[in-house]
Copies of this chain bind each other. A is one copy, B any other.
């Protein structure tokens, strides 16, 4: 299959399709029409048809989509048919929360270790995965095939740690620090800015209050 022409906007919607199709699959649903999927997902049926047409003939007029096939194909596009080893830098609450998400593993993201500077966390393990000290990081990276590093450390440490990771071959960073990272172009950075999300919420609260005043 040829995926080269899929737009950014469609790609950004794929994880949500994947999630809904996964739920349907778990519920034993084999086929679903774009209309039914549209009602579930609260987007228009025409948007769904347009998006999924990017992947060729998954649906036939009147027959609906084959849930398992579509789920698998979207998973392939998202790279979920392969495993991705990852580590977490920062074994505080957020790092531990991520380490406890067993669902990442189901999607092929295999947590190999956590790292921290806090000596009190040394020797601790989460779901059998060991917390190591930061001075073991370089050695660990040299001896393990790690693809992704999640950064759940304070903003003040992020630049230094990101540089160290990149210098040791890490090419994909999942960043939770409240800042953007300026790294070489071949390093992929995906940031989760929790404050930005909270501000969107407060923007919408303000808007609603204004609307009520009118």
Contacts and interface: CB of A to CB of B under 8 A. Distances in A.
Interface stretch (A27-35, A48-56, A132-140, A193-201): A193-201
Would you call the interface of chain A mostly helix, strand, loop, or mixed?
Answer: helix
B198 A107 contact: yes
Given A16-B193, A93-B100, A171-B205, 19 more contacts: A15-B200, A16-B180, A18-B199, A19-B195, A42-B182, A79-B203, A93-B93, A93-B94, A93-B97, A94-B94, A97-B97, A97-B152, A101-B195, A147-B205, A148-B201, A148-B205, A171-B208, A188-B201, A192-B197
Interface residues of A, number: 58
A3 to B, nearest CB: 9
A78 B15 contact: no
Counting chain B CB atoms within 10 Å of each CB, the highest count among A12, A18, A41, A190 belongs to A190
A61 to B, nearest CB: 27
Interface string A90-102: 0011101110110
Contacts of A195: 15, 19, 101, 103-104, 107
A108 B202 CA distance: 10
Contacts of A18: 199
A214 B187 CA distance: 19
B78 A203 contact: yes
Contacts of A152: 97
A77 B205 contact: no
A185 B179 CA distance: 33
Interface of A: 11-12, 14-16, 18-19, 23, 41-42, 77-80, 82, 84, 92-94, 96-98, 100-101, 103-104, 107-109, 147-148, 152, 171-172, 174, 178-180, 182, 186, 188, 190, 192-206, 208
A74 to B, nearest CB: 10
Counting chain B CB atoms within 10 Å of each CB, the highest count among A79, A180, A197, A204 belongs to A79
Contacts of A100: 92-93
